[in-house]
A and B are shown apart, each in its own frame.
Chain A
Amino acid sequence: MKMNWKQVTFVAAACAVCASVFVSSANAADWGQYEVDDRRSGFTYMTDESRAMQVDSFQNPGMIWVEQGAELWTEVNGKAGKSCASCHEDATAAMKGVAARYPVYDEGAKTLQSVETQINHCLENNMQAEPYKWESTEMLSMTSFINNQSLGMPVDVKIDGPAAEWYEKGKAFYYERRGQLDMACKHCHEDNAGGIIRANTLTQGQVNGFPTYRLKWQKVGSIHRRFRGCNKQVRSAPFGYGSDEYLALELYVKWRGRGLPVETPAVRN
């Protein structure tokens, strides 16, 4: 039986226990929206159970953060006495497409803005509130909520104009060997995607599903947390959350996944 993942998504929503559907589709060549040319979402490398869990919003454990984010959206915070909703109103309209476009170069701030840094920009400048810490529950909830508004939209980041410099920096990072084990991102995610390293199947290392719920973490995590983990496992000193290095890398890696759907919150091993 051959099915594509657009159909499977409907089946899963209708019937969460149709495990046999996923077993037979594992060998199907057609991954639907999860594959664009030679670019494949991490989704296509996961187990059938993880995929079933992701596409069913009642089962997806990452939805807890999305719901927490929805609550924060309307909560008044800071000296200006405002909530996000005071200005942006309905998030389903105002935040739709953000995850597909970001990170973007911000002419005003003269820097590359990720969803996290944009949220903190609004907290500090528009609400006179404290910024969220990068990997805090508040930030993960808000980014999960905002990115979830773009669910299914194709990734489409801008890499020309002032973003070009960031893109080039991120690309150089991707191909540079680092750490005592002396590997670049490309050695695992480009040369060996689909290969098995220890007990893990390597994917293309795409970022279209972040924040992702990682079964190993038992919670959602940011793109930069993942970058830090991938740096540390080759025994390389990681960069800071929100560092220019990781923002540039985020833009480049996001571009590598152009056309893939936003999957937030994705479920990954």
Chain B
Amino acid sequence: MPSLKSFIPAFAAATLLASVATADDHLVKYEVVDYGIAKSLTGKAGDPAAGEKAFVNRKQGNCLACHQVTKLSAHPFHGEIGPSLDGVAERYEEPQLRLQVVNAKAINPDTIMPAFYRTDGFHRVLKKFKDKTVLTAQQVEDIVAYLKTFK
């Protein structure tokens, strides 16, 4: 049984959001402006070292499945489905990088790139992953901070 302490905030949050009920209600809210998300999902800057770990981890970002990154050449098997991310911080600002990771489909609806911080609108998700995001808000921020080092 949940303790009263943990129960009350959860209940309060549920009533607050009841009027805009979507499957993504348990996620941090964000605003998309000019194909970007300006504000950090956690309110803080991410940690690029943690970001590198989440980026290469095959159960988390698994970004190398599709992208090549020269400075990660010690890791084998970089995919070629997406573009090389070398110098990506020179091509995009932080807000655009954040939206690209959070929900690439907001930029290109037909893309193969997964939405790493989204749960709504998915079809037949395996039970184990149901209503879960691929990355946590913290991991998204860490990866964004890491991408900003790609100069």
Contact = CB atoms under 8 A, between A and B. Distances in A.
Chain A partners chain B: yes
Contacts of A196: 79-81
Interface stretch (B27-35, B37-45, B122-130): B122-130
A232 B125 CA distance: 9
Interface string B106-146: 00000010110000001111111100101000000000000
B99 interface: no
Contacts of B50: none
Contact of B112 (A179, A191, A236): A191
B101 to A, nearest CB: 14
Contacts of B105: 182
A236 B127 CA distance: 8
Interface residues of A, number: 23
Interface of B is mostly: loop
Contact of B115 (A182, A187, A235): A182
Interface in A150-203: 176-183, 187-188, 191-192, 195-199, 202
Nearest to B133: A180
Interface residues of B, number: 22
Interface string B45-57: 0000000000000
The 3 closest A-B pairs by CB, nearest first: A187-B112, A180-B129, A199-B77
B103 to A, nearest CB: 10
Contact of A182 (B64, B76, B122): B122
A235 B123 CA distance: 10
Interface in A70-129: none
A179 B65 contact: no
A178 B76 CA distance: 28
A235 B77 contact: no
A237 interface: yes
Contact of A235 (B64, B65, B79, B126): B126
B88 interface: no
A236 B123 contact: yes
A109 to B, nearest CB: 27
